[in-house]
A and B are shown apart, each in its own frame.
Chain A
Amino acid sequence: MGLLIPEKKIEQLIDENGIRTDGRKVDEIRNFKCAVGVLENAEGSAYVEHGGNKIYAAVYGPREVHPRHMARSDRGILKIYYRMSTFSVFERKSPAPNRREQEISMVLRTALEPMLFLEIYPNSAIEVFVEVVAADGGTRCASATAVALALADAGIPMRDLVTGVAVGLCNEQICLDLNDFEDKAGDADIPCGWVVQQKKIALLQFDGKMTPDQIMQAFEYSLKGATEIYAAQQVALREKYEAIRDIVNPPGSVQRDDDEDEGGDQPYSQQPRDEQRTPAPEGQEGGQPEDQPGEPDGSQPDDQGGDLE
């Protein structure tokens, strides 16, 4: 006989005290942890734990495009491969890519693309592999969080990070950060990807039924949740370097001014030119700039007075 796992009998999603099945209040996010630089072979990588979700993201590139015919001569392309491991869910998931994975790969790409400056990478591809090794509701949101972290870790210039968190409707109440059970049993599910500082949306999907008032509250809750997660993302990106610095340059110790150490030509990574014009109007982040730079930033423009000597 197979393994018997007793199923918790869940009477209601939210009890009379406003407490949810996992003990949270309606406007609380699940536990969140993240780290970067976790995969040696990748240019940049991230690991995210969000609730029971455990997700890896690995960035390779910018590098040559394969197959060649997909290359664009005016800009780089972003390719995202979202896959769930066969053991990430209770019932073994077949390893063949399914339509949901294709959809999420596309959704993640449309969310992250506007954050990048793809015009500085003609004929190149940035490939991101997302592997969900444990799933617990809201994987696409947690994946967006992980992909943003991995891209930043890879040294790819970005306008800002993207932070994912879902919000939904359970028992007529707006609930922040649905867990797996609430996701399946609730009345609506809105995965969101926020650009927190600008209060803009990068990823948005909707499944279910809500009134306009409920939707406004949902956005309020999800921004609140995203703000907490964004802070954790920033800490993770800095921590990789600050941890080392704290050991060798303990705070308070006197340090010789070390600019003298830097030498040779400063091979800055490919980066966007100073955008003298104001950015595109709201909702159109990252469109192609009309005034394309004639050359990549290998030859610096004159306004770069900030050269290291």
Chain B
Amino acid sequence: MENLLVHDKQIVTPGTILTTDVASFRPGRGTIREQDAIISVFVGLVQIRSRFINVVPLNGVYLPTVGDKVIGIVYEKTPIKWLVDISSNYVGVLRPQNAMDREFKRQGRGRSQEEQEADEMDQFQVGDVLIAKVISFSRTTDPQITTLGKDLGKVNNGTLMSIPAPKIPRVIGRKGSMIRTLMDDTRCRIVVAQNGRIWLNGAPENVALAKFIIEKIHEEAHTSGLTDRIKEYIVEEKSKRGL
């Protein structure tokens, strides 16, 4: 395309001028318009989508978004809520009304309101790992999370790993293709959360293989032909490890 100073998938740095043709192009994510130019604000990959120029960052802290699945670690407990580390500069807040499941409520029948409330906060302790969902977040309120819902709640076993949040889409793949391949070929249960954390469970040697492959995806997230190459890596590693 004429008038563009960069090409699709080029790696750029903050301040790089992407185009001076502000009539033909609009600034997308990761860019700003400065008078007669559209410039990148990140170290990232150029992405050209018809008239929009985006720059996808290659690193960054997680920004909570409503609807996201997140893996959090409880780090503080007050009488009325849990504070959860969701690997962001914002702290996740979990209130008992978003944490009480049916089992818990059933046990509570026949007891007084006070007795029930006293036990509400026993469900999770500091250090617990939770798979949760972000239900609200705005500039003035901390992100509220919930553990009610399918596949949400406390995890009692398994391993946790972390990669930068911008790389998570690569681990998921289009329509979940990459993560499905990973789970099938490594025989592990894997939960990938948007805040960069990944929970794995399975036989130790399978989990070790899965972690290795995920690190590979993390390193090569910005390259092409990744899905095929990952399939090759898995085959290679399995034979190296005798799996």
Interface residues of A (CB under 8 A from B): 43-44, 61-64, 73, 76, 115, 117, 121-125, 152-161, 195, 197, 233-234, 237-238, 241-242, 244-245, 248-249, 255-258, 260-272, 274-276, 278-279, 293-300, 303-308
Contacts and interface: CB of A to CB of B under 8 A. Distances in A.
30 contacts: A152-B42, A155-B61, A157-B14, A159-B15, A160-B15, A161-B13, A234-B16, A238-B11, A241-B11, A245-B222, A249-B224, A258-B226, A261-B174, A262-B174, A264-B168, A265-B65, A267-B166, A267-B168, A267-B169, A267-B194, A268-B63, A269-B42, A269-B61, A271-B30, A272-B41, A274-B27, A278-B34, A295-B139, A297-B29, A303-B26
B225 A262 contact: no
Interface stretch (B47-55, B109-117, B153-161): B47-55
Nearest to B50: A305
B78 interface: no
Interface string B1-39: 000000000011111110000000011111111110001
A305 to B, nearest CB: 5
Contacts of B30: 157, 268, 271
B185 interface: no
Given A263-B178, A267-B168, A296-B63, A242 B11 contact: yes
Given A121-B89, A244-B219, A258-B224, A238 B59 contact: no
Given A125-B89, A260-B227, 11 more contacts: A62-B89, A123-B90, A152-B43, A155-B42, A160-B14, A195-B15, A267-B68, A268-B56, A270-B61, A275-B32, A306-B52
Interface in B189-243: 194-195, 219-220, 222-229
Nearest to B8: A259
B127 interface: no
A262 B56 CA distance: 12
Given A154-B60, A268-B63, A269-B61, A263 B33 contact: no
B41 A270 contact: no
A58 to B, nearest CB: 14
A153 B14 CA distance: 10
Nearest to A76: B89
A306 B38 CA distance: 15
Contacts of B39: 159-160
B129 to A, nearest CB: 20
Contacts of B61: 43, 61-63, 154-155, 269-270
- Majority secondary structure, A binding face: loop
Nearest to B192: A264
B135 interface: no
A172 B169 CA distance: 59
Interface residues on B, range: 35 or more
B15 A197 contact: yes
B26 to A, nearest CB: 6
A178 B50 CA distance: 49
A191 B54 CA distance: 36
A114 to B, nearest CB: 13
A268 B57 contact: yes
A237 B177 contact: no
Contacts of B195: 267
Contacts of A257: 224
A159 B194 CA distance: 27
Nearest to B42: A157
B172 interface: yes
B29 A304 contact: yes
A61 B105 CA distance: 39
Contacts of B57: 155, 157, 268-269, 271
A121 B63 CA distance: 10
B16 to A, nearest CB: 8
A294 B138 CA distance: 8
A303 B31 CA distance: 13
A276 B174 contact: no
Given A249-B223, A263-B173, A306 B17 contact: no
B139 A265 contact: no
Contacts of B31: 274
Given A152-B13, A262-B170, A158 B89 contact: no
Given A267-B194, A269-B166, A152 B14 contact: yes
